[in-house]
Amino acid sequence: MAKTHTFTCNACGASSTKWSGRCESCGEWNSIIEEAPLSAGPAKKSLGGKRGRALNLTDLSSDEVPPPRTHSGMDELDRVLGGGLVPSSAILVGGDPGIGKSTLLLQAAASFARKGLKTIYVSGEEASAQVRMRADRLGLRDAPVQLATETNLRDILTTLETEKPQLAIIDSIQTMWADNVESAPGSVSQVRAAAHELTTFAKRRGMSVILVGHVTKDGQIAGPRVIEHMVDTVLYFEGERGHQFRILRAVKNRFGPADEIGVFEMTGAGLSEVTNPSALFLSERDKPAPGSVVFAGIEGTRPVLCELQALVAPSPHSQARRAVVGWDSGRLAMILAVLEARCGIPFTGLDVYLNVAGGMRITEPAADLAVAAALLSAREDTALPADTVVFGEISLSGALRPVGQTENRLKEAAKLGFSGAIAPSGGKTSGAGGLNIQKMPDLTAFVGEIFGAG
């Protein structure tokens, strides 16, 4: 029976039986290409043992229990991985072009190799001489890492089968191509097939594999989303080009907490770890200024203090502008609506700009009160005390809701020299380290207490 060709969107991975100029799923133009599906092939025995046989957890012998995690010696990387590298794991690392993914993974390969892991770094984007140039710049010439430059998936798997490494780094998955898939390298079918083969090989051979993935203009890993379901851990390497900070964030981790972050600083000699990110994000903070508020947040299991900056100015246009960097624009609109409806403070005819300093990206709702404080401070041209941190979630009724890990937030603030905090009523504040805590029941009380209006 002849194989039926399908048409797949390069942007979102949606499949259809006919070609069209515009994808019906994501709306992208000229992104649909014709592809031949993978052949099912003859039925073979399963990789795990006999076909159809159920295995109880109590039947696992002691030699089948995986060995402990391997620590790389890079504490920030180990933190994001959940405590180290898990054997037979598949990890996907995504990030913008030029953000430092290859630099990070070359340093990680050298660190793991020096810890005793047999490591192979496979580059499909650069020549071997270019990778050695980067290694020389990073001071890794003597690292016991094997280097390969290849894009043919069959040759790569044959090399891995022969060398039997404990860790393989593939840079990048979009450059790999399988000769049994009738489509161009980088297409949805090629990326899916390469990721599946490498992940299956890693599980079967007890080898860990790290895949580098490109991202789209929306910040998502290019290719089908099924890749993120195949792997055990998905990491995003983030950062602003204008800042030297780089953040490695776990968005999925089967072996540790998600939303954990590791902070690095880009230098001329590569990436250096930042053990105290709160002090780094607050290092450029000058004397108190209107619109500047310090937020005590939680990233994964780590408390991080960062500065929120707001600017409110009269708008010269008929429709006021709302610009946000590092936070959700929809949530900003909600905060502005609550301030107007519950506190009688309008922002009509005013441009509002909100920025998270240092290139951080905040997603937790505990930043609501800090954002409201920054907006009111900018609007009233009144600076908040420089030694005070703010956190709390705002409901649509104007009430302030307590947030999780209040004690850890306060301890981090006290450790960095802050003497005051503004938090919702009801949160646990024991062990605050002598901080002067102002507890607010709702947004109206906060406005009246801090800004003298309500």
Both tokens of 329, joined, read: 């624009």
| Total residue length of the chain | 454
Is 118 flagged in the annotation as binding? no
Quote the Cα angle for 428-429-434, to 5°. Answer: 170
Instruction: At 342, give phi and psi (nearest 5°).
Output: -100, -25
The helix (H) or strand (E) run that includes residue 191 is helix 188-205
Is 15 flagged in the annotation as binding? no
CA–CA separation, 243 and 219 (whole Å): 18
Is 270 flagged in the annotation as binding? no
Is 95 flagged in the annotation as binding? yes
CA–CA separation, 133 and 295 (whole Å): 41
Is 232 flagged in the annotation as binding? no
Q: Decide: 255 and 235 in contact? Cβ < 8 Å.
A: no
Quote the strand ranges of 143-238, DSSP E: 145-149, 167-171, 208-214, 233-238
Is 50 flagged in the annotation as binding? no
Which residues, in sequence order, are CB contacts of 9 under 8 Å at separation 6+?
15, 23, 25, 26, 28, 31, 32, 188
Is 411 flagged in the annotation as binding? no
Q: Decide: 328 and 371 in contact? Cβ < 8 Å.
A: no
Phi-psi label, residue 346: left if phi above 0, alpha if psi -120 to 50, beta otherwise:
beta
N-terminal to C-terminal alpha carbon distance within the chain: 76
Q: Decide: 201 and 153 in contact? Cβ < 8 Å.
A: no
Is 97 flagged in the annotation as binding? yes
CA–CA separation, 93 and 210 (whole Å): 7
Residues of each annotated binding site for ATP: 95-102
* Known binding residues: 95-102
